[in-house]
Amino acid sequence: MMIGTIFDIREFAVHDGPGIRTTVFLKGCPLRCAWCHNPEGFVRAFQTLSTAAGSRTVGQNISAEDLARLLNRQAHILRAGEGGVTFSGGEPLMQTPFVAEVIDRLEDTHVVLDTSGYAEQDDFRLVARRCNLVYFDLKLIDPTDHRRFTGQENGPILKNLSSLAEMGIPYVVRVPLVPGVTDTDCNLTAIAEVVRDLPGLVEVNLLPYNRAAGGKYEGLGLSFQPSWDETRAVNANVTCFTDVGLKATVVGWTTEEGQENG
């Protein structure tokens, strides 16, 4: 019986895939992206999060069977709502056997893997082939910048991306737009170059930087030190992608009257 560590389960997670979804956040991540808004996902160990509302323990051990049972109790609702379950984090691939077992126990459920792509190739393939859709983060193409802002090499990520492209599973490449870091035309163009000829790409999502990103650091005893200008508007330059024939969408922006953006 596999035991996993999660830090949250959130229903009606409208930003984590199609339809009505429930997202499971797995605890532990190999990357330390400087802009990460879920720092409680960094380490697998339980932590105490202190806020004005009081302190609470972040982290919960749960068996694959229990988690699957919990999710299966709402599977019919997720199906009827054209959605399913999303595994996010943290990095779900840090707990590959657990995640794979949970997926295997799900009853006819659409599964999205939301991943940084940083994992052993076997682990990556093990989970990815059990999913209906992969949200694959691509942050920085320049290896030095990647190391500097995430703490890891991007080699394994790019390797898994090409592996994913060969698997025939649809995927969305998601680019967090951090002002002056990832949102430069240079980086966006480089990303476009990497993904333009990959088969199976549904679209590119650009996710503008959220200024509330640093909110939880202090409560965890961490410090959030952005080296970029947080107040600067992000460069959501979709043309870097559309110019080479890719579909790209800025997620989470509203236009006038609250109409959805395309």
Query: With binding defined as CB under 8 A, does residue 74 bind another protein?
Result: yes
For residue 8, the minimal CB distance to another protein (Å) is 8
C-alpha torsion sign, points 34, 40, 46, 47: positive
Query: What amino acid is encoded at 43 in this protein?
Result: V
Task: Return the range that interacts with another protein (CB under 8 A); candidates 18-26, 103-111, 120-128, 131-139.
Answer: 18-26
The gap from C-alpha 39 to its chain's centroid, in whole angstroms, comes to 13
- Spatial distance between the Cα atoms of 22 and 16, rounded to a whole number of angstroms: 8
Q: Counting contacts by CB under 8 A, is residue 1 touching another protein?
A: no
Please report whether residue 60 would count as binding another protein according to CB under 8 A. Answer: no
Q: Does 163 bind another protein (CB under 8 A)?
A: no
Distance CA 209, CA 216 (A): 15
Report if residue 51 touches another protein, rule: CB under 8 A: yes
**Shortest distance, position 153 Cβ to another protein, whole Å:** 25
Among 5, 6, 13, 234, binds another protein (CB under 8 A): 13
Going by C-alpha positions, the residue among 202, 215, 207 that lies closest to residue 182 is 207
Task: Report if residue 153 touches another protein, rule: CB under 8 A.
Answer: no
**Edge-to-edge strands, sheet with 60-63:** 60-63, 3-11, 21-26, 84-89, 110-115, 133-137, 171-177, 201-208, 248-250
Contact region with another protein (CB under 8 A), list: 72-80, 145-153, 154-162, 177-185: 72-80
Cα dihedral 154, 157, 133, 72 sign: negative
Backbone dihedral angles phi then psi of residue 258, each to the nearest 5 degrees: 70, 15
Which residue among 2, 34, 38, 163 contacts another protein (CB under 8 A)?
A: 38
Tally Cβ neighbours within 10 Å of residue 129.
13
Q: Does 216 bind another protein (CB under 8 A)?
A: yes
Cβ nearer to another protein, comparing 81 with 151? 81
Residue 73 lies near another protein (rule: CB under 8 A):
yes
Q: Is 221 in the site for another protein (CB under 8 A)?
A: no
Residue 97 CB, shortest distance to another protein, in Å, is 24
Between 10 and 196, whose beta carbon lies closer to another protein?
A: 10
Q: Which of 181, 172, 188, 183 is nearest to 226 (CA)?
A: 181
- Residue span binding another protein (CB under 8 A) among the ranges 15-23, 134-142, 154-162, 192-200: 15-23
How many positions of this chain bind another protein (CB under 8 A)? Answer: 41
Q: Give residue for tokens 């992969």.
A: 134
Contact between 48 and another protein by CB under 8 A: the answer reads no
DSSP reduced 3-state for 49: strand
Query: Is the peptide bond between 90 and the residue preceding it cis, with omega within 30 degrees of 0?
Result: yes
**Residue 12 binds another protein, judged by CB under 8 A:** yes
Tell me which residues touch another protein (CB under 8 A). 9-15, 18-20, 22, 25, 37-38, 51-53, 56, 73-74, 77-78, 80-83, 88, 210, 212-213, 215-216, 249, 251-254, 258, 260-262
